[in-house]
DNA sequence: CATTGGACCTGACCGC
DNA sequence: TGCGGTCAGGTCCAAT
């Protein structure tokens, strides 16, 4: 589920539900979650801490505590649920109990998700390599120009690289490239300034649209309150292989770039000449 | 250096 | 029903 719009949707819900609460108990049910930090130490670092706020950096969720920060990355299948402390589900990996319900449950079928309990000063070690926030002032077409210079990688790969811009994943990369009419295999150093400007705007538009629809959910529920997002009904190309392009009605194609499914219209998104 | 391919996990779905 | 293959919203790390 989780790209920037989905994580942002969760963040906004957490802000209204857990800010001001104090952690009474932390329970790690899957030691893999803490990446080698002993479970007891992880839990100890959270207990007694008050939630001061909830931030987001790219696809990372940052739960600001009195003098620590809990960082969550949902990877492919992670979910955050707000439910009673004792309502443990099959794939629950972490539960934070507060002074009253609901508790925060981190549920993750595939077990790729991670959690860190850090001092603020250790945050850069986890999120220090991220590119600019696409919805912040630091991002515009020059960001892409600088990241793309002297490189030949496919633009789709470059957008998925979190050092380029933080938070874009497979769905919103495909959607943005469609909006900007850029072929996903276009080598980044051959994209015109005109197209780069279109792409920067398309990235912002795609992400903002996702947020406005509370994220994209394909099969299971998604937001922390268990309601599905609605953006899947607004996707133009992603997972629409064979269906008509919204612009020209020719069938959407699916190819694989960097081992990721990629969806595009071969008529509207022309390969640069000579590439 | 930059880039690529495999690894990490589990479950759903499809064709035989 | 069972089996094997494919696919899934992400990232890291070794090999090239």
Domain final residue, candidates A127, A151, A168: A127
A259 in contact with nucleic chain B (CB within 7 A): yes
A36 Cβ contacts chain B strand, under 7 Å: no
Q: Return d(Cα A97, Cα A253) in angstroms, integer.
A: 46
Q: What pLDDT shows up at residue A232?
A: 85
In this structure, what CATH number is given to the domain that contains residue A255?
Answer: 1.10.8.50
- Cβ of residue A250 lies below 7 Å from strand B: no
| Closest nucleotide to A257: CA versus each C1' | B4
What does the pLDDT look like over A58-91, one tens digit per residue? 999 999 999 999 999 999 999 999 999 999 999 9
- Whether residues A29 and A75 fall in one domain: yes
Nucleotides of B under 7 A from a protein CB: 2-13
pLDDT at A219 over 60: yes
Contact A252, A237 (CB under 8 A): yes
pLDDT(A49) > 70? yes
Q: How many domains does chain A divide into?
A: 2
Distances, alpha carbon A40 to alpha carbons A25, A29, A45, A117, A142, in Å:
11, 11, 9, 11, 45
The residues, any chain, with a CB within 8 Å of residue A212's CB and separated by 6 or more, are none
Q: Which domain holds residue A229?
A: 141-264
- Helix (H, G, I), strand (E, B), or coil: what is residue A186? coil
pLDDT more than 70, % of chain A = 97
The gap between A259 CA and B6 C1' (Å) is: 11
CA-to-CA distance for A184 and A199, rounded, in angstroms?
11
Does residue A230 carry a pLDDT above 70? Answer: yes
For A4-8, what is the mean pLDDT? 97
- The reply to whether A234 Cβ lies less than 7 angstroms from strand C is no
* Mean pLDDT on A200-204: 98
A136 domain-assigned: no
Report, as an integer, the average pLDDT of A226-244.
91
Q: What pLDDT was estimated at residue A204?
A: 98
The whole-chain average pLDDT of chain A stands at 95
Please state, as a whole number, how many other Cβ atoms lie within 10 Å of the Cβ of residue A100.
10
Give the pLDDT confidence of A118-160 residue by residue, as tens digits: 999 999 999 999 999 999 999 999 999 999 999 999 999 999 9
User: What is the rounded average pLDDT of the residues A176-197?
Assistant: 97
In the set A45, A59, A68, A114, the catalytic residue is: A59
Distance between CA A1 and CA A226 in Å, rounded?
A: 13
């Amino acid at each position: 589920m989780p790209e920037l719009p989905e994580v942002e949707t969760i963040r906004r819900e957490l802000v209204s539900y857990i800010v001001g609460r104090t952690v009474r108990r932390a329970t790690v049910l899957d030691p893999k979650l803490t990446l080698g930090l002993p479970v007891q130490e992880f839990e100890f670092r959270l207990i007694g801490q008050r939630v001061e706020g909830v931030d987001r950096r790219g696809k990372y969720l940052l739960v600001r505590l009195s003098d620590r920060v809990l960082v969550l990355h949902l990877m492919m299948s992670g979910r955050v649920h707000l439910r009673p402390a004792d309502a443990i589900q099959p794939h629950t990996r972490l539960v934070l109990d507060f002074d009253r319900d609901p508790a925060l449950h981190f549920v993750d079928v595939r077990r790729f998700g991670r959690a860190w309990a850090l001092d603020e000063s250790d945050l850069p070690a986890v999120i220090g390599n991220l590119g600019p926030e696409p919805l912040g002032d630091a991002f515009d077409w020059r960001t892409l120009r600088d990241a793309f210079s002297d490189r030949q990688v496919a633009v789709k790969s470059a957008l998925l690289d979190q050092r380029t811009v933080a938070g874009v994943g497979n769905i919103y990369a495909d959607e943005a490239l469609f909006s900007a009419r850029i072929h996903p295999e276009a080598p980044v150093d051959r994209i015109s300034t005109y197209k780069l400007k279109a792409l920067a705007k398309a990235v912002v538009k795609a992400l903002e649209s996702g947020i406005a629809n509370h994220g994209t959910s394909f099969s299971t529920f998604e937001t922390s309150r268990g309601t599905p997002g609605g953006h899947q009904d607004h996707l133009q190309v992603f997972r629409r292989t064979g269906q008509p392009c919204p612009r020209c009605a020719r069938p959407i194609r699916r190819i694989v770039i960097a081992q990721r499914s990629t969806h595009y219209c071969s008529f509207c998104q022309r390969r640069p000449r000579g590439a």
